[in-house]
Structure 1
Amino acid sequence: MFTKPQRAPRVQRALRLASGTAICLAVSFGLALPIPFLAPVLCALLLASANRPLPFKAAVILALAAMLTTGIGLLLIPVLRYYPNSGVLLIGLGLFVVFRFGLRGGNNLIVTFLVIGLTMISSAGVADFGLAVTVITAMVAGLFLAVLVGMFSHWLFPEPDNAPAPPVAPTFPASEVNRIALRATLIVIPAFLMALIDPATYLPIVLKAVNLGQQSSTTSARNAARELIGSTLLGGLLAILFWCALSLFVHLWMFFLWMLLFALIVARKLYGLNPSPLSPGFWLNSLMTLIILLGQSVQDSAAGKDVQTAFAVRMTLFIGVTLYACLMVYLLEQRQQKQVQGLT
C-alpha cells in the first residue's frame, strides 16, 4: 500500500503563508471590508507566527484581546480630546507596557492588537467617532477573516507529522527589556501624533510604525539600515511591480493570483527555501509593506485619486518613519554603550 509523500515542513509553511495571504486579500477586497488591507496583514502575521492552527483557547484569547483593544481605544478618545497632553502621555505609557509584555514572551498578534487600539482607534476617534467605529469594524472583521483563512490554509497545507518543534523565541535579559520597549515606543509615537492631525491620511503610517517597532526589537544599530530601510524599500519596489502587473488585466482573480505569486516569492525567502543572508523579519516586513502600499493604491484608484502621486507621498512617509526608527535604534544603543563604558 502506497502512502502519499509528505512535503518538507518549510515547503508547507511557504505555501500556507502565500495561499492564506492571497485568499485573505481577495476575500477582503471582494467583500469591500473597511480598511481591506488590514485582514491580509493580520493573516500573514498569524500564519508566520504559528505553525499550527489556532486552538480554541487561543482563538478565545484573541477575541478577548480584540475586545480589550476596542475598549481601551474608545476610553482614550475623551482624554485625548479634552486633555491632549495627558492623553499622549498615557498612550506612551501604554505602548511601553504593551511592548514590554511582548518582549517578555507575549504573543505578537496580541501585541499588535493592543498597539492598534492604543493608536489607530484613539486617534481616529478624536477626529471623528464614526472613523473610530470604522477602524473597530475593520479590526474585528479582519481578525475573524484572518482566523478563518488561517484555519483553511492549515487544512490545505497541513504541518507534516514529523515536523520539528518550532524554536523557542529568544528572550531578552531583564536589563534590556525596558530599553528595547522604550525604543519601540519612541518609534510609534511620532506616527501616532501625525494620525492625530489627519487620521484618514496617516493611519497606514501608524500601522507601518507598529510593524517597525516590533521589528526593531531584534535589530541592532549595526544592521538597522539594512533590516528596516531595506525591507521598506523592497516592499515599495514589490508594490510598484505588482501594480504594473495588475494593470495589464484588472480583475479580482488576477489580484488573487498576483498576490499568490508575490507572497510565494517572499515566503520562499522567509523560510529559507531560497537561501538569503537577510532575516525572516526582513522578509515579513517587506510582505506587510507590500500589502499596505498596494491596498492603499487600490483604494485610491477606486476613489478616483491620483494613484502615482498618492503612492509617492505615502512611500516618502514610510521611508521617513523608517529613517526615524533607525535613528532611535542608533541613539539608544549608543547611550547604552556609554553607560556600560562608564560602569567599567
Structure 2
Amino acid sequence: MQLQARRVFRLSCVVALSLALAYGLGLPLPFLAPMLAMMLVSEPAPPMKLKGLLGLSVAIMLVPGLGLLLIPLLLNYPMAAVLLVALGLYASFYLSVNQDKGLMGTLLALGITMISALGTVDYSLATMVLQSLVSSVVLVVICQWLVYPWFPEDNEPETSTKPTPEQTNWIALRGTLIVLPVYLVALTNPLAYMAMIMKSVALARQSSLVSAKNAGIELLGSTFLGGCFGLLFWSLLGIATNLWMFFLWMLLFGCYFSSKIYQLIPSRFSTSFWVNVVTTMLIVLGPAVEDSANGNDVYAAMFSRLSLFVIVTLYAWFAVYLFEYLHVRRTQSNDVASNVSSSESSIC
C-alpha cells in the first residue's frame, strides 16, 4: 500500500477508535482523546514503547499538574498567579517549537490554563481535567499500538528544519499573547469559556506554523470550516444516534481530513490548517453531546461557541500581525545600528 494511504488509514482509525473508546468507557471530557490523537498521530512516527508511555504519563501528571498549584495563588494572589501562567505558556510554546515536543507543550498549555481556571470554581473539576488528560493520552497510545501494525511507517526518517533561536522566542511570545487574554476572560466564568481556552491553545499552536501573510485564511478559514463540519457531523449523527454510528461517521470524516493532511487529495492548504479544522470540529462536537444529554438546545449552544471562536480567531490574527510588525521593526533597527557602527569603525 502507498505510504500516503497507510498514513491516512492509520490516522483516521486511531482518531475514530480513541473517540469510540473514550465515550464507551465514560472518560471525563471524552472529546479530548480524539483531539490529542490528531495532534499525536498526524506527525508520522511509530508509537512510543511502554517505557515511553509510563514516562509520558508521569510527566503529564507533574507538568500540567502545575495548574493545581496555581489554584491557591489565583484565589489569594491573582497577579502573581497570572505572571506564572504567562511564564508557563511561554515555556509550553518554546517546547513545542524549539524542542520538537508539541504534545507535551500542548498538554502544559492546556493544563496550566484549564486546570487552574476550573480550580477557582471547584477543585474536583480541576482534578477531573488532569485525570482526563492522562487517561486520554494513554488511550491514544494504546489505539496506536492496535492500529500501527496494520499501517506501518517506512523506515526512512523525515528531517525537519528548526527555526532560529530568535524566531523561537518570537513565536513563543506570540503564542503566549494569543492565549493569555483569553485565559483572563475565562477566569470570569470558567465553565462557560472552557471551550474558548481550548480553541485559543489550538490557534496558538497553529500560529507557530503560519506566516503573517497567510494568517487570515489559515486561522479564520480553518475555524469557519471546522464549525461547518461540526454542524454537518451533528446533523448526520442525528440520523441514527448511537456509539457505533458515532465511530463510523468519525472514521469517514477522519479519512477525508487525513487525505487532505497527507495530500492524498490535493489541497492548497497546509497540514496545520486541516489539523485545526478537525480540532475545531471536535471542540464543537464534544460539548454538543453534553448539551444533548442534558436536554439543552444544541444548535443554539453551537452557534454561541462558534461566535466566541470567531472572536478569538480574529484576535489571534491581530496578534500574529502585531508581533510580525514588531519583529520587522526590531530587525530593521538592529540592521541600521549595525550599519552605523560598521561605518564608524571604517572611518576610524
Ranges in structure 2 where 5+ consecutive residues have no aligned partner: 337-348
1:223-238 correspondence to structure 2 within 5 Å = 223-238=214-229
Match of residue 259 from structure 1:
250
- Give the whole-Å Cα distance in 1 for the aligned partners of 2:64 and 2:172: 22
- Give the whole-Å Cα distance in 2 for the aligned partners of 1:336 and 1:241: 40
What's the CA shift for 1:243?
Answer: 1.0
Match of residue 237 from structure 2:
246
What's the CA shift for 1:174?
Answer: 1.4
Larger Rg: 2
Question: Does the Cα contact within 8 Å between 2:61 and 2:130 map onto a contact in 1?
Answer: no
The 3 A distance-change label for structure 1 pair 262 and 183 is same
The 3 A distance-change label for structure 1 pair 110 and 50 is farther
Residue 218 of structure 1 aligns to a residue whose secondary structure is coil
Question: Does the Cα contact within 8 Å between 1:191 and 1:321 map onto a contact in 2?
Answer: yes
1:100-119 correspondence to structure 2 within 5 Å = 100-119=94-113
Q: Deviations over 1:21-63 (max 9, x none)?
A: 1111111112221111011111121111242111234323311
Match of residue 164 from structure 2:
173
Question: Does the Cα contact within 8 Å between 1:232 and 1:286 map onto a contact in 2?
Answer: yes
RMSD between aligned alpha carbons?
1.4
TM-score normalized with structure 2 length: 0.93
Q: Please say if 1:16 is aligned against 2:7.
A: no
Question: Does the Cα contact within 8 Å between 1:65 and 1:114 map onto a contact in 2?
Answer: no
Q: In the alignment, which of 38, 41, 54 is matched to residue 44 of structure 1?
A: 38
Question: Does the Cα contact within 8 Å between 1:46 and 1:150 map onto a contact in 2?
Answer: no
TM-score normalized with structure 1 length: 0.94
- Give the whole-Å Cα distance in 2 for the aligned partners of 1:243 and 1:253: 14
Q: Deviations over 1:299-336 (max 9, x none)?
A: 11111111111001100111111111110000110111
Deviation above 4 Å: which 4+ runs of structure 1?
none
1:197-216 correspondence to structure 2 within 5 Å = 197-216=188-207
- Give the whole-Å Cα distance in 1 for the aligned partners of 2:32 and 2:331: 41
1:226 maps to a residue whose letter is I
1:159-170 correspondence to structure 2 within 5 Å = 159=153, 163=154, 165-170=156-161
Q: In the alignment, which of 93, 103, 117 is matched to residue 123 of structure 1?
A: 117
Ranges in structure 1 where 5+ consecutive residues have no aligned partner: 1-6
Match of residue 4 from structure 1:
none
The number of equivalent residue pairs is: 335
2:12 maps to a residue whose letter is A
Q: Deviations over 1:263-300 (max 9, x none)?
A: 11010010010111111111111111111111111111
1:141-152 correspondence to structure 2 within 5 Å = 141-152=135-146
1:298 maps to a residue whose letter is V
Match of residue 326 from structure 1:
317
What's the CA shift for 1:164?
Answer: 5.6
1:102 maps to a residue whose letter is S
Once the two structures are aligned, what percentage of the paired residues are identical? 42
